[in-house]
């Protein structure tokens, strides 16, 4: 088929596509996920502000919380839970001042202790006393209480530390109460509490600093913090790439400069597949026909779901669970942000720049999706790192990369063809979301369906045959627009384009 007049160098178009891919994948790691250390540091600052406010209301003065990571000896206590309810009470008299810090924590089980990411250690420091008296009491019930008291009578400085006791029950509750009594002559001498924002599992004598494997351990890609940070990276990419394309099209002549700004903007958005069909009938076609087409590929899995009562309005389908999954961060990533951003970058932006380099239709359909497939290899690398960088992890990551490259490239062929035929992102984005919901078709479970096995195998085959037969008829450009509204009509239909075909 005829292509656009080449206004952009093929080498520039190819290098731009590679740059888009690097930018898209790299932007996922530009904003590091918030670690346990930084998260608990925020809690310390918030508690310091709360303590200062409470002290001001009571007419007393307090010293700020000390976030001290350097100490001479490592703590010996187990790691309590980070879900702490902290409250401060101040009572002042003519001769003494009493500050009480109550921390209530829920002790995790033994299994939870190993994987615990956000525990705290409490250090009580009396900066004005040379001696401290500690009194601890525990109960055989599910809760234990420790009380520490310090009396200050001189200006000498010393420190005493205490840690929370452990509990063998997963539901046990630990409560620590710290009370400091200061003489009226030294009201400014207040206890300082240091809440360390990570659990200490290893002590480095050389650097005199506690270190934890959690600090250097990367969070899973499904962790909410990681998802939020990657949303920022994707937003950055989706802003930079079209800005670059606008500048390139403007100075290369891909968009005529003798037209008004709004006409040039409409042409530019049309090349990116961002346009509104000129009538409601064609808008419905943009939604229904691509989903009907891709639904043929999933006839087999759909029948399996029907036989398992997993379709909507069937017994095994839980509306509450599905709604929570879709509305959550993972659902937002898998069904909204992921499909739209990937189709925008790997379909719209790449097709737009390659088409203006004079590329032919087969090259755009079968070569560009390879870039889309390669961009998903980072998932295999994350799996390799997560499993310990072992030889077995490397083999598993290689198999995962090959499989992802295969099916993402196959989907990329279809999505690119659909985008060129419809000149719009609506169809590719909806099909991408539908495929993410269904997952890759699995034929291994057919053996569990007894007498329905042969019908399921037949349904899989019939679905693929129907997809091949209906691919061109259901993606005919005339269903979605005309030669004036379809930016890629000339590539898919040739020039001049027939009217009303």
Please write the tens of the pLDDT for every residue from 118-166: 333 333 333 334 444 444 444 444 443 343 333 333 344 343 433 444 4
Residues classed as catalytic: 342, 376
Q: Is the peptide bond before 496 cis (omega within 30 degrees of 0)?
A: yes
Q: Can you read off the two tokens belonging to residue 311?
A: 């379709």
- Whether this prediction's pTM lies above 0.75 is answered by no
**Looking at per-residue confidence, does 376 or 40 come out higher?**
376
Average pLDDT taken over every residue of the chain? 73
Q: What is the pLDDT of residue 174?
A: 43
**Looking at per-residue confidence, does 46 or 426 come out higher?**
426
Summarize the confidence of residues 84-95 as an average pLDDT. Answer: 40
Q: Where on the phi/psi map is residue 109: left (φ > 0), alpha (ψ -120 to 50), or beta?
A: beta
Q: What is the pLDDT of residue 36?
A: 54
Of 39, 177, 216, 198, nearest to 120 (Cα)?
Answer: 198
pLDDT digits (tens, 9 = 90+) for 384-407: 888 888 989 999 999 999 998 999
β-bridge pairing 85-92 and 96-106: antiparallel
Question: How far apart are alpha carbons 312 and 370 in whole angstroms?
Answer: 35
Q: What is the pLDDT of residue 411?
A: 95
Q: What is the pLDDT of residue 60?
A: 59
pLDDT exceeds cutoff 70 at 71: no
Using pLDDT thresholds of 50, 70 and 90, give the confidence band for residue 380: confident
Q: What is the pLDDT of residue 485?
A: 87
pLDDT digits (tens, 9 = 90+) for 437-474: 998 888 888 988 989 999 999 999 999 999 999 999 99
CA dihedral 228, 234, 239, 243 (to 10 degrees): 160
What single string gives the DSSP state of each residue in 109-142? -HHHHHH--S--EEEEE-SS-S--EEEEE--SSS
Non-local (6+) Cβ contacts of 418 within 8 A are 290, 427, 428, 431, 475
310 contacts 316 by C-beta, under 8 angstroms: yes
Q: What is the pLDDT of residue 172?
A: 41
């Amino acid at each position: 088929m005829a292509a656009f007049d080449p206004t952009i160098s093929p080498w520039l178009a190819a290098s731009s596509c590679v740059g888009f891919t690097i930018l898209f994948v790299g932007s996922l790691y530009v904003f590091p996920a918030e670690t346990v250390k930084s998260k608990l540091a925020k809690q310390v600052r918030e508690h310091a502000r709360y303590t200062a406010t409470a002290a001001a209301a009571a007419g007393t003065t307090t010293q700020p919380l000390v976030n001290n990571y350097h100490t001479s000896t490592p703590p010996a206590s187990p790691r309590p839970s980070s879900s702490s309810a902290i409250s401060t009470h101040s009572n002042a008299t003519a001769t003494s001042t009493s500050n009480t810090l109550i921390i209530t924590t829920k002790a995790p089980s033994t299994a939870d202790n190993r994987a615990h990411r956000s525990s705290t250690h409490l250090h009580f420091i009396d900066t004005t006393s040379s001696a401290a008296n500690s009194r601890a009491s525990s109960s055989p019930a599910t809760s234990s209480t420790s009380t520490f008291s310090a009396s200050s009578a001189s200006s000498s400085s010393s420190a005493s530390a205490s840690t929370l006791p452990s509990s063998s029950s997963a539901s046990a509750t630990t409560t620590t109460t710290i009370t400091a009594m200061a003489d009226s002559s030294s009201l400014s001498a207040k206890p300082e509490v240091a809440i360390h924002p990570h659990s200490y599992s290893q002590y480095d004598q050389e650097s005199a600093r506690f270190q934890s494997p959690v600090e250097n351990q990367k969070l899973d890609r499904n962790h909410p913090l990681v998802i939020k940070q990657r949303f920022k990276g994707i937003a950055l990419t989706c802003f930079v790439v079209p800005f670059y394309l606008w500048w390139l099209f403007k100075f290369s002549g891909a968009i005529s400069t003798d037209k008004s700004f709004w006409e040039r903007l409409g042409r530019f958005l049309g090349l990116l597949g961002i346009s509104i069909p000129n009538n409601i009938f064609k808008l419905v076609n943009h939604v229904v026909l691509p989903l009907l087409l891709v639904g043929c590929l999933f006839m087999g899995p759909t029948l399996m779901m029907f036989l398992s009562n997993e379709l909507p309005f069937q017994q095994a389908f839980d509306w509450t669970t599905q709604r929570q999954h879709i509305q959550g961060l993972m659902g937002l990533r898998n069904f909204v942000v992921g499909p739209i951003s990937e189709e925008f970058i790997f379909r719209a932006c790449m097709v737009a720049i390659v088409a203006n380099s004079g590329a032919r239709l087969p090259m755009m359909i079968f070569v560009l999706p390879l870039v889309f497939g390669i961009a998903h290899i980072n998932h295999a690398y994350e799996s390799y790192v997560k499993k310990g960088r072992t030889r077995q992890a490397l083999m598993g990551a290689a198999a995962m990369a090959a499989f992802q490259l295969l099916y993402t490239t196959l989907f990329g062929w279809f999505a690119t063809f659909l985008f060129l035929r419809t000149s719009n992102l609506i169809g590719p984005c909806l099909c991408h979301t539908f495929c993410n919901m269904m997952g890759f078709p699995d034929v291994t479970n057919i053996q569990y369906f007894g007498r329905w096995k042969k019908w399921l195998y037949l349904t899989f085959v019939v679905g693929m045959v129907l997809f091949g037969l209906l691919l061109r008829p259901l993606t005919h450009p005339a269903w979605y627009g005309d030669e004036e509204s379809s930016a890629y009509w000339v590539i898919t239909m040739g020039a001049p384009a027939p009217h009303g075909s």
